[in-house]
A and B are shown apart, each in its own frame.
Chain A
């Protein structure tokens, strides 16, 4: 009885018992998969590290390195963590199996393995992995690796909560006149070069791009995934952006091409964050005074003629030494009280 499974997958069977290896690998081959085997934990782990498998079937009781150790080694390795592992064990080893599933094993099978169970569990695990891989790919196109992993771990649901984070707005100065003075395709190229550089600076500093509107960027630090030093990282990202742009402008000048100047505003504090939209189309949004303030501070860069401005609460969270310039209190639309503004200079 040879039947094809939905997709031909590459599987690894790790078992010190020859009969078990033969039964498992042969059954899985009959189900249409490509199967490799390893006689013990050490050999198995080596194969997992050096080859690429869609799924691993792992015996618990083995000499040298047992199933627990192999499982733990895989779960502790960020490159191997996403490979689903199904534990195979004797009926009596239920305590051990529970421990493995708690640790993060995908599923388990008791030996002797029932062929129908084997097919069902393997296919279910492969399907889950395929969906997770797709999600991971999708998330990574608009979020950082950390945010993508967080979303995969905690799942996605509409609904907001209060978060404390830093918000950054960045805008190109007089972009409209740049756009009007040159060829449309040159403008798009310029914009793409610019976004590429800015996104790198933001992502490298644990930020995530929240919105792009025309030539403007809104980025978040500390949300959706909270980290304590969100203010420090937001400022570091801002400085890095300015630094990058300086290099970029030097290259542009050498080629007699258009240079770009930007304004960056950063504000920190509480805001309401969550996914808005529907189950099929949603974006992660942050709203509240802090977000408005960051936008106003960004506009304020045109008033004080400094490219990077932050509010006082952001300043209080800085852990490194910066060249700060105190602009004192400023009134902003929608704010009852004056806000102390600081420029971060290079």
Chain B
């Protein structure tokens, strides 16, 4: 099953210009691992605010490209962190693996 909502992705492509989508996807794919790393280190240092901000950006960016499941996972994390709750179980690993699948699809779609 596709990890990317094609309606969202195509609408993004149309509004920003077909020649721009590749650059845009690259910006996201470059940025996302940094965000995940920020979440990991914020978790280690128990910094809920830094964690929340990183989750917030991940949620927003994933939704922009139509990666709805990834966005929902990030949103859940953002919400927990907002309540100062960093008991997140294995959700960060779930985000990591979801992102890998999203990345694979976006790399095909951007061409």
Contact B57 A17 (CB under 8 A): yes
Interface residues of B, dominant DSSP = helix
Q: In whole angstroms, how far apart are the Cα atoms of A27 and B61 in the complex?
A: 16
CB of A6 closer than 8 Å to a CB of B: no
Interface residues on A, range: 20 to 34
Distance of A157 from chain B, by nearest CB (Å): 41
The answer to whether residues A23 and B16 also contact, given A17-B61, A18-B27, A61-B56 and a CB cut-off of 8 A, is yes
Contact B56 A90 (CB under 8 A): yes
When distances are taken between beta carbons in the complex, the residues of chain B under 8 Å from A112 are 8, 12, 60, 63-64
Contact A63 B60 (CB under 8 A): no
Q: In whole angstroms, how far apart are the Cα atoms of A18 and B15 in the complex?
A: 17
Give a binary string over B1-27; 1 marks a CB under 8 Å from any A CB, 0 the rest.
000000010011011110010011001
CB of B40 closer than 8 Å to a CB of A: no
CB of B59 closer than 8 Å to a CB of A: yes
- Which residues of chain A have a CB within 8 Å of any CB of chain B? 1-2, 17-20, 22-23, 26-27, 30, 61, 63, 90, 92, 111-112, 114-115, 118
Contacts between chains A and B (CB distance < 8 A), count: 58
Task: Identify the closest chain B residue to A27 (Cβ).
Answer: B15
Q: In whole angstroms, how far apart are the Cα atoms of A203 and B97 in the complex?
A: 69
Contact A23 B24 (CB under 8 A): yes
CB of B31 closer than 8 Å to a CB of A: yes
> Which residues of B (57-74) have their CB < 8 Å from a CB of A?
57, 59-61, 63-64
When distances are taken between beta carbons in the complex, the residues of chain A under 8 Å from B17 are 1-2, 26, 30
Q: In whole angstroms, how far apart are the Cα atoms of A90 and B71 in the complex?
A: 12
Contact B16 A27 (CB under 8 A): yes
When distances are taken between beta carbons in the complex, the residues of chain A under 8 Å from B23 are 22
Distance of B56 from chain A, by nearest CB (Å): 7
Instruction: Identify 5 new A-B residue pairs, CB closer than 8 A, beyond the known A1-B17, A112-B12.
Output: A17-B61, A30-B17, A90-B56, A90-B60, A114-B11
Q: In whole angstroms, how far apart are the Cα atoms of A105 and B31 in the complex?
A: 30
Q: In whole angstroms, how far apart are the Cα atoms of A75 and B31 in the complex?
A: 34
CB of B53 closer than 8 Å to a CB of A: yes
Task: Identify the closest chain A residue to B11 (Cβ).
Answer: A115
Task: Identify the closest chain A residue to B21 (Cβ).
Answer: A26
Of A26, A90, A115, which one neighbours B20 at CB under 8 angstroms?
A26
Distance of A123 from chain B, by nearest CB (Å): 14
Distance of B108 from chain A, by nearest CB (Å): 19
> Which residues of B (29-84) have their CB < 8 Å from a CB of A?
31, 53, 56-57, 59-61, 63-64, 75, 79
Contact B15 A115 (CB under 8 A): yes
Q: In whole angstroms, how far apart are the Cα atoms of A17 and B61 in the complex?
A: 8
Distance of B22 from chain A, by nearest CB (Å): 12
Distance of A314 from chain B, by nearest CB (Å): 61
Contact A19 B53 (CB under 8 A): no
